[in-house]
Amino acid sequence: MDFKTFDSDGVEIAFIDETPDNHVGQSILLVHGFASNIQTNWINTGWVRSLMREGYRVIACDVRGHGRSEKLYDESLYGAPIFAADALRLLQHLGIKKTHVMGYSMGARVSAFLAMQHPSLIQSAIFGGLGSNMVIGLPGARAIAHAFLADSIEEVTHPTANSFRAFAESTGSDLKALAHCILSARAKITKEMVASITVPVLVAVGTEDPIGGSAQDLAAMIPGAKALDLDGLDHMKAVGARSYKDGVTAFLHDQS
């Protein structure tokens, strides 16, 4: 993949922009989860290859503080609305007037802000790995931040924080930048906010995913939204699952 960068209001953001030979004239923006990156979330799982096979122009960005994008050590420079602004600037940089968007976990929150704030730009939105907890929220940010700042993973006894530290290490992440990221002000998403979404939405979450919560419950809050339960899958296993890809492909075809 050809990684490029652009300036998003003074912050260097890395991205890919891949157009297949069988391009159907539509694009999809991919936004990865916390402590992940384009390579881990979308390339290694086969998502980029799968979507290009279907004829979509695939655009994906490394969220600031992640992957190949600039690392920042200021909590005020992070948060889903800021990530959404970076994504919007990327689409403007590429001249994209209309696109599907799919985010996973933290990326689903970013996608939600894009759908709520820029409905004329978003053709459809897919919230992967985040269902009812988009509204309910998930505690433990401070414990995860402490885990990232610990001298070694052996010092991290909190089980969830330990798993996040292990994942961040596996993706070669900048642990200090991630600590600042997760401690940033968490922009609340309410039931009323998701109820205002007017674009077609698919919510896809593993049935064994306590991080994401219920796909059915979130879909019920959004007019016309569809839920996709990924049977027997947890937060990590669902990312590249065939059932996830098949459900998304069918949903995108319906929007086309």
CA distances (Å), origin 245, targets 162, 184, 186, 215: 29, 31, 29, 16
Q: Torsion angle, CA of 207/210/212/216, rounded to 10 degrees?
A: 40
Read off the pLDDT of residues 27-57 as tens digits, 9 standing for 90 and up: 999 999 999 999 999 999 999 999 999 999 9
249 in any annotated domain: yes
- pLDDT given for residue 1 in this prediction: 85
Q: Name which of 103, 16, 25, 32 is nearest 66 in CA terms.
A: 32
41 in any annotated domain: yes
* Domain of residue 49, residue span: 4-137+190-255
222 in any annotated domain: yes
198 in any annotated domain: yes
158 in any annotated domain: no
Q: pTM of this prediction?
A: 0.97
Domain count, the chain: 1
- Between these two residues, 185 and 168, which has the higher pLDDT value? 168
31 in any annotated domain: yes
171 in any annotated domain: no
Read off the pLDDT of residues 111-128 as tens digits, 9 standing for 90 and up: 999 999 999 999 999 999
38 in any annotated domain: yes
Q: Which residues pair with 125 in a beta bridge?
A: 101, 201
- pLDDT given for residue 179 in this prediction: 96
CATH number at residue 118: 3.40.50.1820
User: Whole-angstrom distance between the N-terminal and C-terminal Cα of the chain?
Assistant: 26
